[in-house]
Amino acid sequence: MRKATIASRILLAALWAWASIPVWAAAAGADKPEAARPARQGVAVASPVLRAGAATSNITPWLGDPIVGGWNAPPARHIHDELHARCLVLDDGTTRLAFVVADSVGIPREVFQEAKRQIQEHTGLAPDRMLMAADHTHSATACRAKSASEPDQELPDYARFVARRISDGVRRAINQLEPARLAWGTASVPDQVFNRRWLMKPGTPLPDPFGGTDQVKMNPGHQNPGLLAPSGPVDPEVCFLSVQAADGRPIALLANYSLHYVGGTGPQEISADYFAAFADRIQQLIGADRLDPPLVGIMSNGTSGNVNNVNYAAPPDRRKPYEKIRLVADRVAQAVFAEYGKLSYRDRISLAMRQRELELAVRKPTPEQLAQAREMLAHPERPDKLPHQRTYARRIVDLHEAPATIPVTLQAVRIGEVGIAAIPFETFVETGLALKAASPLKPTFTISLANGSHGYLPTPEQHRLGGYETWLGTSKVEPDASTKISAALLEMFAEMKP
């Protein structure tokens, strides 16, 4: 009896050891990355649940600094509504991405680079996993260096302030990461976008600042008898991402619309234009007031370099200050809200991002243009004989002294099946429409003025028509730059097909 008991114990011990081998093997690899663990045949491994966090940072400038966006830069005397950097962070368990849209007419590459440096220092997030853009409000203070030809000079006070506040906003969004779900949708708002470059009837005088003649005119005036037709299309689509917590609480809504800005603000007043008004209105519509943490509504600028909110074929639409801003914001928010309730959310979505540095040639003045510009600047008493002649004389000298090429940062992002292109220019709508059509990701939209602000980006065809957006000093890079940029972005999208 005792021998049988001993034999039974030995057998049980052997069986326990044999059954425990898979447990030991799993424990040994528990701290390895998912890709390093051997897959078990026939067993599906679920992807991690998406996490998301969002936050805003106040970037309102101080009074007295110049407001940029027009031909003059008057000092700010009042703040109608505060400016913000609106931040969203997404994490699929493998890839973490940060998105920032700031209330500014344009933020230089160097300022974004400083913000990214600070974020990486504090969080470890790599700069090529951050997409940062300006929304292009025309009623804000600039945060650029004094001279475009000296990009390495020390950043001015407001630029350093903006970089720090962007960094703080992304860090706070990371602090608030939580299990989340995401959905995307599209809407159409065709009645708020108009191509602002008009072909004019033969014989209409269209001088440029350099002694040449254009074929199109930007903002030609209402019911101008010389109007022939808009020189290009518009993009009425509003693309948007909705991010919610696991329990359905709204975290963020990131939208994109190809509208330059609205304007109609008070004189010398700081404002975030319709971009902030949309963020406020969408919060009201989806019933997300006074949440903790608050919903972050974000409106990014699409490809609107030649698109604004003015129909020059119709009589002027005269309104009180900020009335048109609120009207456009409500119209776009209502269109998004109409689709909001139809969305289908996912809590497991894969993320991907690609980044490239593209070197582009800087446009240079001819010897004759440079000589005329220097002659003009040497005699400040002389009045302009051509449109904005003195302004462009300064720009011509700056371009002459600038480097022969500039590096520009391009990014392509995939969120599930959605594609996002990031271009550091005021991009023409033709480029955005072509990217949407050719991208393997649907829907695809473009965020302009992202990771830098290098002026206008007309297409080669629009360059040949002339006009303000193509003038030397308004458009600073080679005329076929949009073609090279589009090709690079489509290559990156192809690499990320799900």
pLDDT (average), residues 228-247: 98
In a domain, 33, yes or no: no
The two beta strands, 237-245 and 178-188, are: antiparallel
In a domain, 390, yes or no: yes
Distance, in Å, from the CA atom of 413 to the CA atom of 186, rounded to the nearest integer, reads: 17
Q: Per-residue pLDDT tens for 465-492?
A: 999 999 999 999 999 999 999 999 999 9
126 and 269, same domain (yes or no): yes
When pLDDT is cut at 50, 70 and 90, the band that residue 70 belongs to is confident
For residue 194, count other CB atoms closer than 10 A to its CB: 20
- The model's pTM is 0.90
Residue 103 contacts residue 135 (beta carbons within 8 Å): yes
148 and 256, same domain (yes or no): yes
- Domain end marker among 421, 437, 453: 437
Give me the number of domains the chain comprises: 2
pLDDT(290) > 80: yes
DSSP state of 193: -
In a domain, 225, yes or no: no
Look at residues 30, 31, 456 and name the one whose alpha carbon lies nearest to residue 218: 456
CA 479 to chain centre: 22
pLDDT(232) > 80: yes
Structural domain boundaries enclosing 370: 363-401
Look at residues 116, 115, 117 and name the one whose alpha carbon lies nearest to residue 161: 115
For residue 169, count other CB atoms closer than 10 A to its CB: 28
In a domain, 473, yes or no: no
147 and 295, same domain (yes or no): yes
Instruction: Give the pLDDT confidence score for residue 46 in this predicted structure.
Output: 58
When pLDDT is cut at 50, 70 and 90, the band that residue 154 belongs to is confident
pLDDT (average), residues 324-350: 98
Instruction: Give the pLDDT confidence score for residue 147 in this predicted structure.
Output: 54
Q: Per-residue pLDDT tens for 3-47?
A: 444 444 433 344 333 333 333 233 333 333 333 333 333 444 457
Q: Is 445 helix (H, G, I), strand (E, B) or coil?
A: strand
In a domain, 212, yes or no: no
243 and 376, same domain (yes or no): no
Instruction: Give the pLDDT confidence score for residue 144 in this predicted structure.
Output: 76
Q: Per-residue pLDDT tens for 95-138?
A: 999 999 999 999 999 999 999 999 999 999 999 999 999 999 99
58 and 175, same domain (yes or no): yes
pLDDT (average), residues 183-189: 98
376 and 241, same domain (yes or no): no
248 and 367, same domain (yes or no): no
387 and 309, same domain (yes or no): no
Q: Where are the beta strands (DSSP E) in 362-480?
A: 405-415, 418-423, 426-427, 444-448, 456-457
Instruction: Give the pLDDT confidence score for residue 145 in this predicted structure.
Output: 63
What is the length of the chain?
Answer: 498
Burial profile 295-316: b = 16 or more Cβ within 10 angstroms, e = fewer: bbbbbbbbbbbbbbbbbbeeee
Q: At 284, which amino acid appears?
A: Q
pLDDT more than 70, % of the chain: 89
The two beta strands, 269-270 and 78-79, are: parallel
331 and 368, same domain (yes or no): no
In a domain, 383, yes or no: yes
In a domain, 448, yes or no: no
Instruction: Give the pLDDT confidence score for residue 23 in this predicted structure.
Output: 30
Instruction: Give the pLDDT confidence score for residue 345 in this predicted structure.
Output: 98
Residue 84 contacts residue 129 (beta carbons within 8 Å): no
Average pLDDT, the chain: 91
In a domain, 125, yes or no: yes
179 and 64, same domain (yes or no): yes
The two beta strands, 250-257 and 296-301, are: parallel
When pLDDT is cut at 50, 70 and 90, the band that residue 2 belongs to is very low
pLDDT(325) > 50: yes
Distance, in Å, from the CA atom of 267 to the CA atom of 262, rounded to the nearest integer, reads: 15
Burial class (CB in 10 A: 0-12, 13-18, 19+), 64: exposed
Residue indicated by tokens 């951050």: 130
258 and 382, same domain (yes or no): no
385 and 330, same domain (yes or no): no
When pLDDT is cut at 50, 70 and 90, the band that residue 148 belongs to is low
